[in-house]
Amino acid sequence: MQDSVKPNGITPSQTVGPFFKYGLTPTGEYAWNDAFTNSTLTPDVTGDRVRIEGRVFDGDGVVVPDCMLEIWQADAQGRFADPQDKRALPNASFRGFARCGTDKDGNYSFDTIKPGVVPDPDGKPQAPHILLAVFGRGMLRHLYTRIYFSDEAGNAADPVLALVPAERRATLTAVREAGKPVYRLDLRLQGDDETVFFDV
């Protein structure tokens, strides 16, 4: 039925709104189950387990308590759990996707593994990174950014970080806490220290 219809464009985005929690991130507070959690960890996953956490701020520096964040990443060998990645995925049950709603103080956190190296279109290595999509009330379309890791030497040669003015790269770099597998990265939707967002 209608299979030959050629669309005249894509469906436009609209804001996720303020009231998505009971549908997308209920976390036990509503009569609905979670399709996703804020963890990509599976029993058989290999690699360095890390936590990434931070807060989300608006242009006035006020915390954003109604954001939804989603991450997408490769496994520790740099391979994606998607058949479009033709390389074998050794971590059979690892999916590489997680979702988190910010709390009343704007906090988010993800439990995951540090991803491996993924090639760019020229075959050049990219430093370990996680894709991050930011949704929220007031945001008519979600924004895309990346999370890099402060303790990776490969950041200096990363072809995507190279596109970003040097003084703004810190907004993409999660900083490791001393002695713990925890990285911190705050997101600023607007302002002088605004997070770098990509046009993808």
Partner 1 sequence: MTFIYPVDSNKAHPLPLSPDYKSSIKRAPNKPLIPMRHTLSELTGPVYGHETVREGDNDLTTQHTGEPIGERIIVHGHVRDEDGRGVPNSLVEIWQANSCGRYVHVRDQHPAPLDPNFTGAGRTVSDAAGYYRFVTIKPGAYPWGNHHNAWRPAHIHLSVFGHSFVTRLVTQMYFPADPLFPFDPIFNSVPDEKARARMVSSFDLENTQPEWALCYRFDIVLRGKNATPMENH
- Shortest Cβ 112–partner 1 spacing (Å): 13
DSSP 26: -
Least distance CB 150 / partner 1 (angstroms): 19
CB of 178 to partner 1, least distance (A): 29
Give Cβ neighbours of residue 38 (< 8 Å, ≥ 6 apart): 98, 99, 100, 108, 109, 110, 111
Give the nearer residue to partner 1 in terms of CB position, either 131 or 177: 131
Closer residue to partner 1 in complex, CB, 29/178:
29
- Nearest approach in angstroms of CB 110 to partner 1 is 14
Residue with smaller CB distance to partner 1, 32 or 180: 32
- In the bound complex, what is the minimum distance in angstroms from residue 98's beta carbon to partner 1? 9
Q: Which of 141, 144, 138 is nearest to 196 (CA)?
A: 144
Using the CB atoms, write b or e for 152-175: b if 16+ within 10 Å: beebeebeebeebeeeebebbbbe
Which of these, 195, 18, 176, lies nearest to 101 by C-alpha position?
A: 18
CB 128 within 8 A of CB 147: no
Residue 23 CA: distances (Å) to CA of 63, 73, 137, 181: 22, 24, 15, 31
Q: Which lies closer to partner 1 via its Cβ, residue 104 or residue 180?
A: 104
Would you say 17 or 151 has its CB closer to partner 1? 17
